[in-house]
Structure formats: structure tokens, C-alpha cells
Structure 1
Amino acid sequence: MKNHSLLSLTLAVLGILCPCLSRLSPRVSFPMGSPGRHLTRFTSHDVSNTTTLLLSEGGDMLYVGARDAVLALDVSHKDAIILKNKLDWSPSDKDLEQCSMKGKKMADCPNFIRVLQFLNTSHIYACGTFAFSPRCTYVNSEMLTMSIKSDEGRGRCPYDPYQRNTAVIVDGELYTGTVADYRGNRPVISRHLSEGRRVDLKLDDTLGWLEDPTFISSSFIPDEEKIYFFFSEVGREYDFIDKFIVSRVSQICTSDVGGQRTLQRRWTTFAKAQLLCQADNELPYNVIQDVDTLPPAEGAPADDTLFYGIFTSQWSVNSGRSAVCSFSLNDIKSVFSGNYKVLNRDTLQWSTRVQEKVANPGECGLHNASDNALRFVKENFLADDSVRPIGRSLTMVSVEHNYSHLAVQRVSAANNRDYTVLFLLTESGYLHKAVLLQSGTHIIEEVQVFEQPQPIKSLRLSIPKGMIYVGTSEGVVRVPAANCSFYWTCAQCVLARDPFCGWDPANRACVKASNTQTSLGQDIDKGNVEEACNHVTLTHRARFGPNKLPTGELVSVSLNEVVRLQCPAASQLSQQLWERPNSRLSSDLYLQLQDGSLSFVATPATLGHYICLSTENGYQQTMAIYHVKQKTSPMAQTPTSHTWPQTYPIPTTQAVARPKPGLHTSVGTWPERQETRQAETLPTLSSRDTQVITRQLGRNLTMRQKEAEFQDKELLQLARGPCYLKELVAVSVLLVLCLSLLITMLLYVIRQRCHSRTAPQAGTPTRNSDRRTPVEQEALRGNQFLSKQNGQTPHSGQVSGLSCNGALTGSNGHLPNTPI
């Protein structure tokens, strides 16, 4: 428990110390179906799970190991992959029934071809899982027919189609790394098809030479007469961590025939070491995913052979998802010639101590050694030191991609320098092409090869034909390694920094580079357009002069409209910059969105010319020019200060500039348009660097992104001046309170006056009646007498004017017949 706690603390601390990595973004992206990247596909309704690919020496024929079939595909045609022959090789109904009785799913019981190797010039050796009962056979490579009946394939091919394996044929003998039992508990590295005095060999598994391995790849080095196997397994030397995964490289000699008494029919030259893909102060990327071999350059020694591998981490605290490390054959040989760990037979614990070497483990020719020497190499097969990457650093780290397969190629550029190009397949379905530079890794492009993540894939590179083949669950996809014709200007060709491509000034085209063409414009290391294109007339940008206004797209708008001007990106590594003549783009009036577009409200101050510049690696080029002009229609709106009703959308004018055909594939984010209108177009730039084709969107086109809509409304409000909404609300509340108080006081005064003028009831003497003079009383009685003569009986309910609480008043508001 103490060791586990210490390990957890160490992992946490190292996770905090891991430096933040910058994202490696592909310069150009080609989504599925992009016209800028031509792909060729082979699919068939009865072909699936193309898990094994084998290329002929010339690259004209591709042999595919699929489910229940072996295919021969003619790939010599430019625009098509043609099925030449097909060998059906499926289990019988009885085999499928037995597989099901073993408790296996019927989907896993077909024959999945997992071994496909050239035996000689006329035959291929093929092995398949065959309903969890592996079988192998010889196939005629020309007719694609079985030469003899299939035989047992145990130890040559896995039982389970999901188990990884590796195989290589050298001088007619098959060397494999797989499992030798139905349950997958007996991993083996073995040799088969031996003849004459040579015998088939396998590992001695009494001491656990392999610990639950996952085989990845194998490579034969002719000058060394050795085969190197790459795999991951549980590192038993790290006993304080339960199932700590480590990556390994192991070796065996092809001349090995086993010992005479000790290690009979067993390897005497087996040795293994740890591959450590780790940067300083970081946890290692300890799980190997794929390995490819890069042979030495012409004339270089075999020790310059490099192995490039993809590694992932067992822990989530690492800075990236995948890492690429490169190892040299010279470093691997140095580790195998050093000291070895000692295994305690009683405790099965590994230890490191200096001991007398009875023999050199991994050395070829030990089959004639003494029994004492063979016992020593049998117990000491784990190298003490680890193989570290070249330069003690990672070749590249991907923060956002999980790489699963890779292929590596050395490319000679126009300057006769060699560059290493990696083709990396992501689990999300993209193929990345990257070039390794002294300044770091540059991802030239990414190509989407399939839409949905595929569970089973394979990757093969045909260097003679310049093609990459990807095997998926649905079929085979062919991708050209070079795509020079996509770059239509010298600047774009140089900025791509693709060793395959260079600018031909005579033909004014980006062409595939070769050693015979030395005048090509190319700069792989720096991507300097000025130097590489010094023989080409460049139009860097269309500047605004005092008496010069460039032409461009005319955008007719109404005042107070929200205008959005689009600027196509030259690449995903470029940055867009907007300019106006003799004017600064204030942040109070303009918003530059993340996609590079410019948004503002059409006012007299914002009308005029706009130019969008793309900047990449110090080079600027014009991508779009607009002239925003007010409509001349008499129905054009005038500037107003009121706000737009929320029930109506804000009028919007959106102008979109299109690049030359094919450029949209480099961005992959062009918006779909539902409603368009024609716009008056001014002549575009004559320079090939700055030519754009544009059109204007409809006036009532709504914003497709909520963020952009919010920013446009905010910009409209800012353009109309400061907002006094809070002050208006406060004044309104005070006005309502004042009016309410005034009305209340008026009602109170009226009510008081009405009370003061209330008439007394008949027959009821009041204080006021007592105070009347005799003349007033006599006049009052006279009025009552006249009323009786007219036939009217006065009562308290009749009024000749306004009645207030039953009082009688005249039309002038006073009591009847009362002198004013």
C-alpha cells in the first residue's frame, strides 16, 4: 500500500509538471469528398474486414486478406482499383457450428485472414482464424488458387480475430509472434516451414520470457541477420505496480537452430529490452501502437536504420494523447550488448547486479555454446538498460488525436536534402501527412479517408508508386502521397513546405519535385516565400493609396443593417487582417469573428472600401476586397435611434468571398447558403495571388450561429449611441407617482367641497337655517309655495344641478335661489 500511495503521488506531481503543449494543426484539411484531394475507393457488397494488405514489389498489385476471402486488386490504373481475382476461403457449416458451441459469437467465427506473406516469386503463404481453429495454405499469386489443402495454423495465426499478431517470411521460413492456444494464454515467437537440417523453433516458456504480450510489428535486418519484434507486455521488473505496461523490442537470429542439450528446439538468441518513449520530467508513453522501419539512406551503414513508433500513455495525466518516437538500430544494439537483469528463481523478482558474463545474450552462434552458457542466456534475457529515443526527446506529440497506424518515407527535396515524412492514421478517420524539421513537426495536410471510426485498419505505403493504401472494415482506400496540383500559386506551393512539391517557374505550376529539377521554388525548412519565389512577380497585397482605391466586390446595403464580410483563409495556419483606407478599425464599431469575417453596422461612417489580408509565416496576400455602398433605392432606410422590435429580425447583409476552386477544402467550414441574391460585381484583382470570386448573400439571411447573432445585435446597439434605458425608466416612474399624487389631491378637494355644500333634510332645523335672516327665510318659503302651485312636490332626491351626498345645488354649483 505504501508503494501504491507513493506511485499515485508521483503520478500527480509529474502530471502537474508536464508542460503545456502547443497544438499541431494541419495546414490544409480535406473533408470527405473534397475535390481538392482525389481518392480512389474499392468496395464490394461481399468484401469486408480488409485487415491485411500485401503489396507486390512493383506496386501494381495489392493482395488483400479479408473475411472469408483473399483478393487480388489491380492498382496500376490511375482512377480505379479493379478486382482481378478472388479466392473464397470460408469455414464449413460444421466448423461454424463447432465455433458456436465453444461459446463464441457467430460474427467472430468466419475466417479472418491475418497472415499474408510472399513465400517466393510464385506463391503467397496465407493464414486465417478459420472459426477459432487457425488454418494456413499456399496460394498461387497469379491465379489466386490454393496449391494444396490447408493445414493447421496453430502458433502461426491467432485464434481470435481481435488479437494482434505479426509475421514475416525470410528465406522461405515464417517467423511469427502470436498465441498458440485457444484461450490466448500461451504467447509465442516461433519459426515455421524450416527444412533440411534446420528445425522449427519457439520460446522456452518455463521462465516467462513473455508476459501477456500484444504483438505489434516485426522487421528483418539483412545485414544483422536478425529479426526484431515490437510488442507491449506487463513489466514484471516493476513489481510495485500491478500490471504496469511497458513497450519492448526483442531479437532473434535467423541462423539459430537451438541448443544440443539445453534449449533444444528453443531460441538461444532471444533477448528483449524496454523501449522508453519519454521526455524529460514527464511520464513515459508506455503502450506501443504501431512501428514502421525506415531503411538507411543509400550508402549509409545498417546501424542508421530507424524505427518510428506510435505510443500512447497508460495514464491520463500526460500532456498529449499520442506520441511518436524514433529509435536507431545502433542504440538497440548497444543496449543488447550491455548488462542484463538477474531473475531470482525463488521469488521470481528481477534485480540488477554486476555479474560475471558466461555468455553474451542475444549473440548469434550460441547454438554451439556449452550447457553452462546456454543456461546463462536462458535466465538472463532482459537487458538492464532501456532503449531511449533519438535525441532523448519525442519526435512529435498530438494533443487532440489518437494515432493508430503510421508509415514512414525518406523524401529527397529539390535541394538534394533528405526529409522524413510520416503518414499517420487517426482513430477518427483522418490521414495526416507530416514532415520532420529541425524546428519541429509540420503537418502538411489531413485527409478524411472514412467517416465513421473503423475497428480494424491497416496501412501500407507504396514508395515506387507514391500511393498510400488504407484497409478498413468497408474496403480499401488509395491516397496519393503527393498533391502538388492543389497549390495554384508559388506562395501556396512554398508555404505548404511539402518535400514532394516545388514551384516550376517555366510552367507556372506546382509540380512533383525530382532530383533532375534544381530550379524549383521550394523551402522546406523555413517556408520563405520571398527567397523561394524571387524569380516570380509577387503581388503581396493591394495597398490603399491617396488616389488609388482597389476594385472588388460591391456590397449594397441599407443604413443600420448588420453587414458581415467573409474572408477565406489561405490555410488553417494563416491569420486574417482587415484594413480600410485612411481609417482605423475601431473595436467599438467592428467585430472580427473567429472565422476571420468582419461584422459591423452600416452607417455613413462605415461605408467604403475594405480589404482582407492573409498572413502566414511572414507573407501577406490579399484574399478579398469589398466596397460597401448605400443603396440608391428611394425606399432605403434612414438612420434612426429607435431599437428594432424583437419580433422582427435585424436586416443583415452578408458578403462571401470565394477563393479559387479547391480552396474551400483547405478550410472545410464554408457556410451553407439557403437564400441568395445577385450583387453588382466590380472587376476582381488581376494578380493570381489575389484573385477572388465573390457573391452577396440575401438581405434577410439570418445568422446561423447564436454567437454571431448576439455579437451583431450588440454591435447595432453600440453603433446607435449610448443607451438611456435606465434613466427613462426612472423618469417614467417618478412621473407616474406625481400624477397619482395630483389626482389623489384633486379628488380630496372635490370631496371636501361637496361635503361643505350639502343641503339639510326637510323638517330638520340646522345651525345654518337658524342663522338665516327673515328675508331669506321668507324667500325660501315663497319658492316652496310656487312649486306647489306648479304641481311639483320638492323632495330631497330631486336636483336641478349637481347632487353631492343628497344636497340640492343649482346649475352654477350654489344652492337654489341663493344669492351669490
Structure 2
Amino acid sequence: MTRLLLLWALCCAPLVSPGSPAARPRISFLLDSSDRGLVHFSQRDVHNTTTLLLSDDGSTLYVGARNAILSLNVSDPGFITLKDKRDWSPSQTDIDSCKNKQKNAQVDCPNFIHVLQPLNSSHLYACGSYAYSPHDALLDTRTFTLTSVSTAKGRCPFNPFERNTAITVDGELFTGTTRDFKGTQPFISRHFSRDGGQAARLETSNDLLNEPTFISSSFDKKEGKLYFFFTEVLKEFRYIKEHKGARLAQVCKDDIGGQRTLQKKWTSFAKSLLLCQSQQQPFAILQDMFTLQPPEGDSSKETLFYGVFTSQWSQGSGPSAVCQFKMEKIRDVFSGPYKTFDPSKQQLSPAVTQRTAQGKCGLWNASDVVLEGVKKSFLSHNSVQAAGGGPLLVSTGPNGVGYSRLVVVTTQAANQREYTVLLLLTDKGFLHKVLLLDGGPHIIEEVQVFKEPQLVKSLLVSSSKGVVYVGWSGGVTVVPLAHCSSYPSCGQCVLAQDPFCSWDPAGQACTKSHTLEAAQDVETGNVMKVCPPLSSTPDPVELQTALNEVLILPCARPSDLATLSWTLAGLPLDQKHFLQRPDGGLSFVVVADTLGNYTCTSQEAGYHEVQAVFAVTPHSSSTVRARTSLGWTRLRAFGPATDPPPVEGDPAQDPTEAPTEDPAQEPAQDPAQDNHDEVQPSQEGGAARPTANCRIQDRSGEDVRGGHWQKSYHTELVVVSLLLALCASVVLLGLVHRWSQRVLPVSPKVLARPGDGTESQGSQGNPENDCILKQEHLAPEVKVMV
């Protein structure tokens, strides 16, 4: 395959420099984005609204749909409403006949409108597939009624999904389509000839067309020629099986055929190869072609053609290329020389003939010898090369974005220069707005038009209204060419490099109206050169939060080409404690060291702009408080309600500090229970014995909860040691006394307060589960019986 590609490139054209790869869009607007609102028209019973025609005054959009023709009011670019609708469905008999031809009644047998063209000041010409039996009609725009309905083979295709092209010039219809049920007989023809003239069509004895897919057509008024753009199998390169290429064919508008040879057939037919290739690969499959007419008063040779091409060997939605072709170059190629068709071998020979009559108009009275030569020499020897030697841009990216349709507009920027903008529809449902610059293409933005891939779709641009109409199966969507209010500052307005938008310093807004003081730099987007320095930053947003909680600070990226950075009190952040999210937000845990003022700054093309400022402060109840009485230290706990309490003895935790609940959130206590929980001194003057759920007071008299505090055991250890020594002394004294009296000894007994239900609990329980007692009640009551 590599050798074949190389051979093809050497035969057709020298290698050219690669096209500029299309950078990613600067801004992306999704379908439900409020920043780039779209106007959409749809109805439940209206489908396949893909054939579009705008009235001369731009107030009415005619739409060819499935089984219907619509008239939409688009006089206001911000609204689109239905004015009228004309149903045009096949009869049940036609549908049954379509089903008998092994076609699906719901998919293949409706009437899909393929052609909708102005015929005169009061009528439109319409042609539809009509249940695999093409029909055409005239539509009266005043009454919106259909007349002169009849069969129309050769004017639009049988297959509802087959591409075709049609154009009307001075009341005559020129079409490029197939004229048979199977779609194997391609046809370029003229209909409705003036003054009773005969319709003209192609000679079929030679291989003038080889499995073409018609794409577009255009009219050269100065030369009186029509151009047809299509893709077909290239028979001149027989060593490459089924190699396809893009073609351009021409016929003369007033060609009526020869007197004997080529009667009622084109005598002016000629075709050439369109070359759009980069150093990496050729782009041979033509997807769409747009004709950009020069301004009034300019020469017609300044007409430009912009085409979208894909590679024959790319898998799936591979890369696409956009190439530009000049009318002047096309005219030169069709002026000769031409290759010769050998009837005996049914192929083009390498022999080259200089132009005698090929491609000329007005051969109706030419001799049979001249016309026989025209029949054999219809393919130009030279190819039409893309302007600049290669593509204007090549789509790239990991998702394999491919372009399928395009329209082109020109506009005058604030510097009075004309700029060209491409509107490209991707196979993913996005409309790319691409500015062509000397340094390469710049994708200003992408706007999502639909979500699901569409088999059939179309674009129509209205420069006067500043909108693009997108026709697809789900309806008609209106996309403004510019939405300048999306740029909130002078910097963002200039960075967009949108020739439709400039910054108005008086109104402090980005607008479509270019004033003398307007700030704009389409070529480089140099903000520092045209915008005044920023004198203010956004007001800080106050955020009160709890400690130990995870906080996310949002920051919207102004464009997909901008990078965001965060600072705390003007200093860079420690990456170990802060996480910058993919959406630009900042995530961190709120502690004492992460409180303060945060600033989010965007950077693009050397320009910095503050996007957001936050002041993070703790709640008033989150203040750190410390108590040293009896070794107590208290901290506010900020974990979730389900977090387990700290485990005592955890080596990772400070034994002198423990979190406790907010006193304001403590549940109300039953008074009776409170009284029961209080530590009571012994009625006998002995030590107090706390209950299991007792309330303890420190020296300050403030109630505290043992489960939420940690204490120092130094004092308790000293007291317990003294008690143990005293008990041991008493026991020893008693044993000595019993031995001396020779009587049975009596063991010491610790008397508890009668009736409190806590006998011997203090001496047998777990010390860590006991409540902490007041220091003045720590001495036990001991009696020794002799």
C-alpha cells in the first residue's frame, strides 16, 4: 500500500509541505450551555430537515424534509417559527410498490426532498425520492401549494440516502445524480431549457463518469460555465485497484449539443483531478465544497473554492483536510492539454493532445471530426493543485475528529482588514469556527449542535444575518456567527482573536460593533498591546468552614488554552497538601495552616488575569480552646458525625489532647438523671463514689464529659500510692495484733455509701472507665476491726 501511495503521488503531483494541523478549539460550548444559547426548531412529526434554501430577502427559510416542505420565519435571528407546511407523501399504492422492490416502508419508501431551488420570482423547484420513484413539482411561494407534480428520473436520485447536487441558473435546472433504480447510471443534465431548447445530457458511450458521488455545483457567470464537484473511481490509474479521487467537471450553460455528433449531449464536457494532499498522505475523498464569490466589482477569477477532504485509507473518522482552490487555476487547467481515450482498450492512453476544441463553449455547429476529438479527449492532463501547495488545515487529535460539511464567510475587523472564517461541522456534532491566518489556522470556538451522529446533514450561511443554519434529522438549529458577550473582559475578548468581536472601552463590553477606540488584535491576540492594565480584581468570596473538613474552591478556566494557578496569601501552594482538580478547582483539608486568602489566576499567551478570590475562615464555634486544669486539653472535632472517637493510647495521638463535641450540640439531659449522675460525698464523711454515667466537674466548676476529654494521671498515681502504703501498714499492724492475741484476725473493709449501688465498684472496675473525681474527695474511708 505504501508503494502504491508513493507511485500515485509521483504521478499526480510533487510532494508538498504538510498542512497546518488544526489546534484544539480555544473554547467549547456544550449543547446545554447557557453561555452560547442556540435557536432550534423541531416538530414531532417533522424529520430529516436537511435540504435548506434561504429566500432572497433572508426572511424565510425553506426546508425540504421527509414527506413535507416547510416555510420558516427567520426574520429575527433570535427566533425561528413555522409559517407554513405542505405535506408531500407518497400514496399507499406507491409505498406498496416500493415494498415490492424489497425496500423498507419506513426507511426507504417515504418522500425525501433532495432538491429545493428557486426557479423564478414566484416558484421553487422541488424533487424528492418519492418511494424510490423520483417525483418533482413546482411550489408556489405565495400560496404555498404544489403544482405540476410528475415523475422526475435524472433530476434527483431514487435512493433517499444518495448524495446529489442541483443548481438553477436563469430558470434552467442543472443536476448531477443517477437516473436508475440501482444508482449505477450517473448523469449530468440540463432541464427546462429556455426558448423550447432541448435538454442536454452526457454521452454514455465512453467512461465519462465512474461511480461518482456528487457533492456540489457552482456557476461561473463570466465564462458561462457550470462546475460539478464529485468523487469517483480513477480509471487512469489502473495499477491501483478501486483508487478514488476528487474530481471537477465543467459544462457550458448554453451548450445544446452537436448537429450530428453528440446530438443533445454535452460538447463542452471536461473533467480534471483535484489534489489535496500533505506530505503524510493524500486526501482523495471529497466531503463538501463551498464557493466563495468575490465582492461586487472584483474579477470573477478571484472566486475561491473551499473543500473538505478525507483519506480513502483512513479507518473510521480519521483526519480531514481543508484545501482551497482558485478559479484562475481551474481555468488554466481546462485550457489544455488533454489525455486521450482509446475506445479499443476502453481506457485513457498516455498520449497527450493539445487543446483544439476541448472544454470550449459554442460547438453546436462544429464539424463531426472536431466533435469526435472532443468525445475522446475529456480528461485534462494537468491536475488542479490546492492553493499554497497543500491543505489549509488538517484535523488532528486523539479522538480522530473529522469534518463533513463547511461554509465560509469573510468579515472586516476593526483594523479594516478582511478575514476569512470557516464554519466546519464535525462528525461528533460540533461546529468549529476557524480563523485563517498567515501563521496557521486558529479555532476560535466549537459549539455543539447535536449529540448523536447524523447520516445526512447540511449547512447554510447567511452573512447578512450573521447566522449559520444547520439542518439535520432532528430539526433546524440556528448558530450565531459570533457571541461576543461570552468574553467578560478586554483580555478575554482580545485573546479570542475573533474578527467579529472587539472590546468597547466606553461600554466596557465585548461587542460586534467596531468603534474607533475598539481593542482588537486578530493576528496575535496581544492583550498587553491593546488593553489597559487591570486596575481591579474580583471581590473575595467569604467562606466560613469547619476545621478538618475537605474544601473545594471552584475556578472556571476562561478558555481551554489557559492554565490556572493558585496562591495562598500571595505565595505558591505546597503540592503535598493541596490538589488542583482537572476542572481547575482547588481541594484541600481545612486546618489552621490552610486558612487565609486564596487567589486563582489564569495564564494564556503571556497574559495573566485573576479569575477568583476566596477568604477561608473558620466558624466561630471552631476556635481552638485549651484547658490546663488537671491536665485537660480540649479541641474542636470536625470529622463527620459517623467518625469513631479517638482511641486512648493511640501512639499517633497526643495523649494530652482529644476532640470533643460542640457543647452547643449536646443533647438535653434529664434533670433526674443529672442529679443521679452527680458525685455525692459520703454521708459518713468518706470518699465519694461516682456512678458509671456520672458528670464530673473540674476545678473551674464547668461540666465536662469523660468520653470527650483526656487527662493527666500524675496526681491520681501519687494518691493511690499513698493509699496502698497506708492499707499495707494497717493490714500488717492487724496481723501482728492477731498473732499477739492468738485470736482470728479481721480483714479491713472499705465501706461504701449505703444505698448507692456502687459497693466495691470503685476498687474492682476498670480505672480507665471510672469518672475523674475532685481532688478533695480522693481520700477513701477505711475502718479496721480488731
2:119 is aligned with 1:122: no
In 2: Cα distance, 1:312 partner to 1:275 partner: 13
Cα displacement string for residues 477-534 of structure 1 (whole angstroms, at most 9, x for unaligned residues): 11222212222222222122111111222222222135xx333221111111222224
TM-superposed deviation, 1:258: 0.6
Q: 1:444 to 1:555 in 2, by over 3 A?
A: farther
Q: 1:189 to 1:8 in 2, by over 3 A?
A: closer
What is residue 131 of structure 2 aligned with on the other side?
131
Q: 1:8 to 1:304 in 2, by over 3 A?
A: closer
How many corresponding residue pairs? 625
In 1: Cα distance, 2:604 partner to 2:295 partner: 33
| Matched residue type, 1:245 | K
What is residue 462 of structure 1 aligned with on the other side?
462
What is residue 681 of structure 1 aligned with on the other side?
none
2:332 to 331, 334, 338: 334
TM-superposed deviation, 1:6: 3.8
In 1: Cα distance, 2:96 partner to 2:48 partner: 22
TM-superposed deviation, 1:376: 1.4
1:524 to 513, 522, 525: 522
Q: How does 1:596-675 map to 2 (within 5 A)?
A: 596-630=584-618, 633=621
TM-superposed deviation, 1:153: 0.5
| Matched residue type, 1:430 | F
In 2: Cα distance, 1:592 partner to 1:168 partner: 56
Secondary structure of 1:333 counterpart: helix
2:380 is aligned with 1:392: no
What is residue 264 of structure 2 aligned with on the other side?
265
| Matched residue type, 1:321 | P
What is residue 220 of structure 2 aligned with on the other side?
221
Secondary structure of 1:409 counterpart: strand
| Matched residue type, 1:104 | K
2:222 is aligned with 1:233: no
TM-superposed deviation, 1:622: 0.2
Is the CA contact (8 Å cut-off) linking 1:282 and 1:318 kept in structure 2? Answer: no
Is the CA contact (8 Å cut-off) linking 1:569 and 1:575 kept in structure 2? Answer: yes
Q: 1:579 to 1:193 in 2, by over 3 A?
A: same
Gaps of at least 5 residues in structure 1 are 543-549, 651-820
Q: How does 1:246-261 map to 2 (within 5 A)?
A: 246-261=245-260
What is residue 558 of structure 1 aligned with on the other side?
547
In 2: Cα distance, 1:639 partner to 1:286 partner: 77
What is residue 490 of structure 1 aligned with on the other side?
490
What is residue 369 of structure 2 aligned with on the other side?
372
Is the CA contact (8 Å cut-off) linking 2:414 and 2:518 kept in structure 1? Answer: yes
Is the CA contact (8 Å cut-off) linking 1:74 and 1:81 kept in structure 2? Answer: yes
What is residue 351 of structure 2 aligned with on the other side?
353
Cα displacement string for residues 739-762 of structure 1 (whole angstroms, at most 9, x for unaligned residues): xxxxxxxxxxxxxxxxxxxxxxxx
What is residue 84 of structure 1 aligned with on the other side?
83
Secondary structure of 1:352 counterpart: strand
2:515 is aligned with 1:539: no
In 2: Cα distance, 1:187 partner to 1:322 partner: 26
Is the CA contact (8 Å cut-off) linking 1:497 and 1:524 kept in structure 2? Answer: yes
What is residue 652 of structure 2 aligned with on the other side?
none
TM-superposed deviation, 1:556: 3.0
What is residue 177 of structure 1 aligned with on the other side?
176
TM-superposed deviation, 1:197: 5.5
Q: 1:582 to 1:46 in 2, by over 3 A?
A: closer
Q: 1:639 to 1:8 in 2, by over 3 A?
A: farther
| Matched residue type, 2:445 | E
In 1: Cα distance, 2:100 partner to 2:315 partner: 44
Q: How does 1:660-809 map to 2 (within 5 A)?
A: none
TM-superposed deviation, 1:351: 3.6
TM-superposed deviation, 1:377: 1.6
Cα displacement string for residues 343-376 of structure 1 (whole angstroms, at most 9, x for unaligned residues): 333333334334454x242122222322222111
TM-superposed deviation, 1:562: 4.3
Q: How does 1:57-72 map to 2 (within 5 A)?
A: 57-72=56-71
| Matched residue type, 1:379 | K
In 2: Cα distance, 1:603 partner to 1:541 partner: 27
In 1: Cα distance, 2:179 partner to 2:634 partner: 83
In 2: Cα distance, 1:192 partner to 1:20 partner: 41
In 2: Cα distance, 1:416 partner to 1:82 partner: 36
What is residue 141 of structure 1 aligned with on the other side?
141
Deviating more after overlay: 523-532 vs 174-183: 523-532
Deviating more after overlay: 113-122 vs 493-502: 493-502
What is residue 422 of structure 2 aligned with on the other side?
422
Cα displacement string for residues 85-130 of structure 1 (whole angstroms, at most 9, x for unaligned residues): 2222111111111111111110211111111111110111111111
Q: 1:533 to 1:379 in 2, by over 3 A?
A: same
Secondary structure of 1:443 counterpart: strand
Q: 1:565 to 1:379 in 2, by over 3 A?
A: same
Q: 1:620 to 1:541 in 2, by over 3 A?
A: farther
In 2: Cα distance, 1:195 partner to 1:21 partner: 47
Secondary structure of 2:147 counterpart: coil
Is the CA contact (8 Å cut-off) linking 2:227 and 2:249 kept in structure 1? Answer: yes
Is the CA contact (8 Å cut-off) linking 2:339 and 2:353 kept in structure 1? Answer: no
TM-superposed deviation, 1:333: 1.2
Q: 1:9 to 1:326 in 2, by over 3 A?
A: closer
Is the CA contact (8 Å cut-off) linking 1:189 and 1:202 kept in structure 2? Answer: yes
CA root-mean-square deviation: 3.0
2:566 is aligned with 1:578: yes
In 2: Cα distance, 1:95 partner to 1:20 partner: 50
Cα displacement string for residues 159-212 of structure 1 (whole angstroms, at most 9, x for unaligned residues): 010010000011111100000111111000000111336321111121110000
What is residue 186 of structure 1 aligned with on the other side?
185
TM-superposed deviation, 1:457: 1.2
Q: 1:271 to 1:649 in 2, by over 3 A?
A: farther
| Matched residue type, 2:333 | V
What is residue 569 of structure 1 aligned with on the other side?
557
What is residue 452 of structure 1 aligned with on the other side?
452
In 1: Cα distance, 2:347 partner to 2:500 partner: 52
In 2: Cα distance, 1:176 partner to 1:319 partner: 29
In 2: Cα distance, 1:649 partner to 1:37 partner: 48
In 1: Cα distance, 2:18 partner to 2:337 partner: 34
Secondary structure of 1:36 counterpart: helix
TM-score, scaled relative to structure 1 = 0.72
Secondary structure of 1:353 counterpart: strand
Q: 1:105 to 1:636 in 2, by over 3 A?
A: farther
Sequence identity (%): 47
2:312 is aligned with 1:314: yes
Cα displacement string for residues 777-809 of structure 1 (whole angstroms, at most 9, x for unaligned residues): xxxxxxxxxxxxxxxxxxxxxxxxxxxxxxxxx
What is residue 689 of structure 1 aligned with on the other side?
none
What is residue 806 of structure 1 aligned with on the other side?
none
In 1: Cα distance, 2:536 partner to 2:644 partner: 40
In 1: Cα distance, 2:199 partner to 2:326 partner: 30
Deviating more after overlay: 449-458 vs 243-252: 449-458
Deviating more after overlay: 368-377 vs 264-273: 368-377
TM-superposed deviation, 1:648: 6.3
1:292 to 290, 293, 301: 290
Gaps of at least 5 residues in structure 2 are 10-15, 626-632, 646-786
What is residue 403 of structure 1 aligned with on the other side?
403
Secondary structure of 2:190 counterpart: strand
TM-superposed deviation, 1:20: 11
Q: 1:458 to 1:602 in 2, by over 3 A?
A: same
| Matched residue type, 1:311 | F
What is residue 509 of structure 1 aligned with on the other side?
509
What is residue 694 of structure 1 aligned with on the other side?
none
TM-superposed deviation, 1:601: 4.4
What is residue 743 of structure 2 aligned with on the other side?
none
